[in-house]
C-alpha cells in the first residue's frame, strides 16, 4: 500500500537530490545531511558506476531515501534490468527518450524522472511522457553550467519540476526563489573532484536549500512519497 508523508504544521517543500554518487561514504554523508534522494549515473560519464557497486551502496541506505539510477538513451529493458540489479527505487531518463520509452519504464518502476534540456522544444510536450517529475537541465548535462531559469516556464503548468544545471550553495537560494521548483538536483556543485563530494559544499547546499524553501501551511504543502513502503 502506498502512503504519503503528511506534514504536521509546516515542512520543507523543496525536494533535494544529490546526484553523481560513486561511493558509499558520499551516499551516507548526503543522507545524514538530509538529502531526500541520491543519484547514480549509468550513462557515459566520469561519474559512471556499475550495478554491483550501486547495490552495495543502496542496501546500506535507509528505506525512506529515494535511490535513482540515471540513464541516457538506453533500451527500456536494459534500464529495468540494471535498476533491479542495483536495488534502485527510481530511474531518471536523461537523454532523448520518446514518450513511449518513458511509459514503458514507468509501467515497471514506481517512480520516473524525465529530463529535458532547457530551451528544448520537447519540454512543451513533457506531459506526454507520463513521468512523475520533469527535470530541467542545462543543454550539456553534467557541465556544471547555469542556464537561463526563465526557460523553465516552457514546461506545462501543473507538472512537478526539478531544477538542475550549475546549482551551488551560492545560487540555490536564488534559484528556489525565482523558479519555485518542486525539487533541486546537484552534482558538480558539491564536488571536490569528479565523482567525489566535498563535505563542506554538500552541507552548505542542503542547508541552504532547506532554509530557502518557502513555509506554507501543512494543508497546502506538496506531499512527498513514503518510499519505505515500496517493494
Percentage of the chain beyond pLDDT 90 is 79
Q: What is the pLDDT of residue 136?
A: 95
Burial class of residue 212 in the structure, from the number of CB atoms within 10 Å of its CB (0-12 exposed, 13-18 middle, 19+ buried): middle
- Residue 17 domain-assigned (yes or no): no
- Residue 6 domain-assigned (yes or no): no
- Residue 184 domain-assigned (yes or no): yes
Percentage of the chain beyond pLDDT 70 is 86
- Residue 9 domain-assigned (yes or no): no
| pLDDT tens by residue, 100-134 | 999 999 999 999 999 999 999 999 999 999 999 99
Q: What is the pLDDT of residue 223?
A: 44
Contact 169, 205 (CB under 8 A): yes
Torsion of CA 18, 199, 53, 42, to 10 degrees: 40
Residue 98 pLDDT greater than 80, yes or no: yes
The rounded distance, in Å, linking the Cα atoms of 127 and 119 is: 16
Residue showing cell 542545462: 138
Catalytic residue list contains 198:
no
Domain ranges, residue 169: 35-214
- Buried/exposed code over 149-163 (b: 16+ C-beta within 10 A; e: otherwise): bebbebbeeebbbbb
Residue 5 pLDDT greater than 70, yes or no: no
Contact 117, 155 (CB under 8 A): no
Instruction: Say which CATH number the domain at 96 has.
Output: 3.20.20.70
| pLDDT tens by residue, 22-60 | 999 999 999 999 999 999 999 999 999 999 999 999 999
- Specify which residues 105 forms β-bridges with: none
- Better-scored residue on pLDDT, 215 or 43: 43
Q: What is the pLDDT of residue 143?
A: 59
Calculate the average pLDDT of the chain. 88
Q: Please pick, among 12, 19, 36, 185, the residue that the annotation labels catalytic.
A: 19
Please state the domain count of the chain: 1
Residue 137 pLDDT greater than 60, yes or no: yes
Catalytic residue list contains 19:
yes
Dihedrals phi, psi of 39, to nearest 5 degrees: -115, 145
Cα→Cα distances 21→12, 53, 123, 147, Å: 23, 11, 27, 23
Q: Please pick, among 12, 26, 36, 137, the residue that the annotation labels catalytic.
A: 137
Residue 153 pLDDT greater than 60, yes or no: yes
Residue showing cell 518513458: 102
- Residue 89 domain-assigned (yes or no): yes
Residue showing cell 535507509: 62
- Residue 27 domain-assigned (yes or no): no
Q: What is the pLDDT of residue 23?
A: 97
- Specify which residues 5 forms β-bridges with: 224
Which has the closest alpha carbon to 3: 62, 64, 69, 60? 64
pTM (2 d.p.): 0.87
Residue 230 pLDDT greater than 80, yes or no: no
- Buried/exposed code over 64-89 (b: 16+ C-beta within 10 A; e: otherwise): ebbbbbbbbebebeebbebbeebbbb
Amino acid at each position: 500500500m502506498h502512503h504519503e508523508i503528511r506534514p504536521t504544521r509546516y515542512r520543507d517543500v523543496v525536494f533535494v537530490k544529490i546526484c553523481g554518487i560513486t561511493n558509499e561514504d558520499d551516499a551516507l554523508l548526503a543522507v545524514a545531511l538530509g538529502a531526500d534522494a541520491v543519484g547514480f549515473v549509468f550513462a557515459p560519464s566520469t561519474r559512471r558506476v556499475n550495478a554491483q557497486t550501486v547495490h552495495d551502496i543502496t542496501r546500506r541506505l535507509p528505506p525512506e531515501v529515494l535511490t535513482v539510477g540515471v540513464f541516457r538513451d538506453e533500451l527500456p529493458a536494459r534500464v529495468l534490468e540494471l535498476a533491479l540489479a542495483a536495488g534502485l527505487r527510481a530511474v531518471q531518463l536523461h537523454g532523448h527518450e520518446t514518450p513511449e520509452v518513458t511509459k514503458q519504464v514507468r509501467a515497471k518502476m514506481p517512480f520516473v524522472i524525465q529530463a529535458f534540456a532547457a530551451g528544448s522544444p520537447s519540454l512543451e510536450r513533457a506531459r506526454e511522457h507520463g513521468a512523475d517529475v520533469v527535470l530541467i537541465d542545462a543543454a550539456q548535462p553534467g557541465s556544471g553550467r547555469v542556464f537561463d531559469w526563465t526557460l523553465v516556464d516552457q514546461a506545462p503548468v501543473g507538472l512537478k519540476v526539478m531544477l538542475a544545471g550549475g546549482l551551488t550553495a551560492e545560487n540555490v537560494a536564488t534559484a528556489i526563489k525565482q523558479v519555485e521548483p518542486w525539487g533541486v538536483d546537484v552534482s558538480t556543485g558539491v564536488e571536490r573532484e569528479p565523482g567525489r563530494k566535498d563535505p563542506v559544499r554538500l552541507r552548505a547546499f542542503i542547508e541552504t536549500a532547506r532554509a530557502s524553501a518557502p513555509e506554507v501551511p501543512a494543508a497546502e504543502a506538496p506531499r512527498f512519497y513514503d518510499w519505505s513502503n515500496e517493494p
